[in-house]
Structure 1
Amino acid sequence: MMTFPERIGRFLLLAFVWAGLAFLTIPLAIIVAVSFTETEYLTFPPQGFTLRWYEQFLADTSYLDSIGLSASIAVASTAIAILIGIPAALAITRSQLPGMKIVNTIFLAPLILPTIVIGAALLQYASMLGIARSYTALLVGHVVIVVPYILRTVLASLARFDQTLEEASLDLGASPVSTFFLVTLPIIKPGLVAGALFALIISWINVELSIFNATAALMPIPVKIFNYVQYAIDPMVAAISAGTIYVAIVAVVLLDIFVGIDRVATPSK
């Protein structure tokens, strides 16, 4: 039976958790609600109910193109970051070569530098290579800023990794490649999936880096919204933002159905 101080502590903890959830979710609920208002301006609570702003948003193919571009860059940059981050994490944790701490610092530098500085530097470097303001430049920039998220989460998984499991697999006749896919990868999967989710989100919402390499025909959705709100603020902005919220909800539901959020959060046995 809990003592009175323990009950007070538990109550305060639950209150803090619920307050945190409310702080995070109420703004999203407000955005969704405002997207249905009949007024020509943003107002809460919404007045009336209409799908006009969604129709206006979906009728503009440039927004759909921007969403497709952002999704393409987010998925591609995350996939490339995984291919870079896993070998880098393995090398940093297991290599006996000197200078691995410096390599780790270089990979994590994008977390320290302001993204806008990285964007400006990328624009200058891409101009020298003749690929400025192109899909390739955007993709390279997004890979640079999302690799640290993959690296950090995989490093965290490898920190408690038991290498005797790999040694046992090799002793039983498995090849190094088979050992990686059948032993190593399943164990580091929670960290890898968490890092991939972070990478997707960071890439999807990025404005600072993208704005330097965006053009009228190559404009990710965050930059598109940023440019729009400089000249007009109406409920269509809320409808676009609500659309991204719906996409995030669907992504989480699909992740739970096909992967299982509980399995992602729990290390493989």
Structure 2
Amino acid sequence: MSEAVSRERVEDVLFRAGYWLVLAVLMLPIVVVFVTSFQQSSYLTFPPSGFTLEWYATFLGSEEWLSAVRDSVLIGVGSSLLATVLGVTGSLAVQRSDSWASRVLPPIVLLPLLIPPVVLGLTLLIYFNRIGLTNSYVNIVVAHALWATPLVFFIMQSVFARFDWNLRDAGMDLGARPGRVFYHVTLPNVRSGVVISTVVAFIVSLQEFIMALFLKSFEVQTVPVLAWTSLQSSLTPMVSVVSAFLVLASIVGVLLSAAVMNLEWLAEQL
């Protein structure tokens, strides 16, 4: 008995050690990015020879970079809202239908994730030019929503699978319209999933590069596109500053979604 317990403890220790080792390997590039963003040298090196906040001041004082941040945020908000609406409504339709379309839709929704972004970007560029749609904001929002909608769809599939549909049926039996039932009955019970889906769609849009590169214009370019452009001329710590910005934006999005869910939990307890 003691030998079995000892073996279980050894296996548990090895599992935990392996888990933390994998986590450390995954986190190491992020640590390198943050450390090099504070380096004093004008050329990107690791480990840094000195530390300064000069590159952050340059980033915050650059109209070009701030314009790219504004474009990325606007595009991220637009594409996440569009992807959330499409993904939630599509997932809801599939869950409550037994038709052949409900069986065909999930594989079709998955297709954008299976097509290389370079193919999507080039195809959308040709298509938008053919129909005369030249607004880069709209083009990139649609492109990013096309890529983020499948993620929202399958997240909501999992959320709706745990939803008690008897509540919806009871609302319909009481004479409420479908839209009113969704707003007052379904949505409050799946709000956490909707928030998480929106955050995931925003992060995907914020960090997507290839399609934004194809669809950008002189007036509109996202942070990853501008970072790529700057890399072609020199490898400065500004690249690490931009990467740190993207990582921090993703972390803030996750923390905000977690805060929303915790506030809902706290409200339920009170």
Q: State the TM-score, normalizing by the size of structure 2.
A: 0.88
CA contact (8 A) 1:123 1:132 kept: no
Q: Which runs of 4+ in 1 moved over 6 A?
A: none
Q: Aligned in 2, Cα 1:219/1:255: closer, same or farther, shift over 3 Å? A: same
The aligned amino acid for 1:218 is V
CA contact (8 A) 1:133 1:212 kept: no
CA distance in 2 between partners of 1:252 and 1:42 (Å): 29
Q: How does 1:101-140 map to 2 (within 5 A)?
A: 101-132=103-134, 134-140=136-142
CA distance in 1 between partners of 2:173 and 2:93 (Å): 22
String of CA shifts for 1:79-100, please: whole Å, max 9, x gaps: 1111111111111122233232
Q: Aligned in 2, Cα 1:175/1:133: closer, same or farther, shift over 3 Å? A: closer
1:100 to 96, 99, 102: 102
String of CA shifts for 1:153-201, please: whole Å, max 9, x gaps: 0011122333222223444565533432233223333432332222111
Q: Aligned in 2, Cα 1:89/1:231: closer, same or farther, shift over 3 Å? A: same
Match of 1:90 in 2: 92
CA contact (8 A) 2:223 2:242 kept: no
The aligned amino acid for 2:106 is N
Deviates more, 1:185-194 or 1:103-112: 185-194
CA distance in 1 between partners of 2:152 and 2:254 (Å): 19
1:48 to 47, 50, 53: 50
String of CA shifts for 1:130-168, please: whole Å, max 9, x gaps: 124621111111111111011010011122333222223
CA distance in 1 between partners of 2:208 and 2:190 (Å): 27
How far off is 1:68 after superposition? 0.9
Deviates more, 1:237-246 or 1:82-91: 237-246
The aligned amino acid for 2:45 is T
Deviates more, 1:36-45 or 1:97-106: 97-106
Match of 1:257 in 2: 259
Match of 1:266 in 2: none
CA distance in 2 between partners of 1:171 and 1:124 (Å): 49
How far off is 1:239 after superposition? 1.5
Match of 2:268 in 1: none
Q: Aligned in 2, Cα 1:188/1:51: closer, same or farther, shift over 3 Å? A: same
Structure (1 or 2) with the greater helix fraction:
2
CA distance in 2 between partners of 1:229 and 1:262 (Å): 43
The aligned amino acid for 1:236 is M
CA contact (8 A) 2:199 2:257 kept: no
String of CA shifts for 1:51-99, please: whole Å, max 9, x gaps: 1111222222111111111111111111111111111111112223323
CA contact (8 A) 2:203 2:250 kept: no
Gaps of 5+ in 1: 264-269
Match of 1:61 in 2: 63
CA distance in 2 between partners of 1:161 and 1:257 (Å): 22
CA distance in 1 between partners of 2:204 and 2:23 (Å): 21
Q: Aligned in 2, Cα 1:46/1:260: closer, same or farther, shift over 3 Å? A: farther
SS in 2 for 1:232: coil
CA distance in 1 between partners of 2:128 and 2:182 (Å): 36
Match of 2:225 in 1: 223
CA distance in 1 between partners of 2:182 and 2:105 (Å): 23
The alignment yields a C-alpha RMSD, in angstroms, of 2.3
Calculate percent identity across the aligned residue pairs: 33
Q: Aligned in 2, Cα 1:103/1:257: closer, same or farther, shift over 3 Å? A: closer
Deviates more, 1:35-44 or 1:2-11: 2-11
CA contact (8 A) 1:149 1:196 kept: no
Q: State the TM-score, normalizing by the size of structure 1.
A: 0.88
Match of 2:40 in 1: 38
How far off is 1:22 after superposition? 1.4
How many matched pairs? 263
1:208 to 207, 210, 231: 210
Q: Aligned in 2, Cα 1:261/1:62: closer, same or farther, shift over 3 Å? A: farther
Q: Aligned in 2, Cα 1:48/1:4: closer, same or farther, shift over 3 Å? A: same
2:149 to 140, 147, 150: 147
String of CA shifts for 1:29-70, please: whole Å, max 9, x gaps: 211111111112112222222111112222221111111111
1:157 and 2:159 aligned? yes
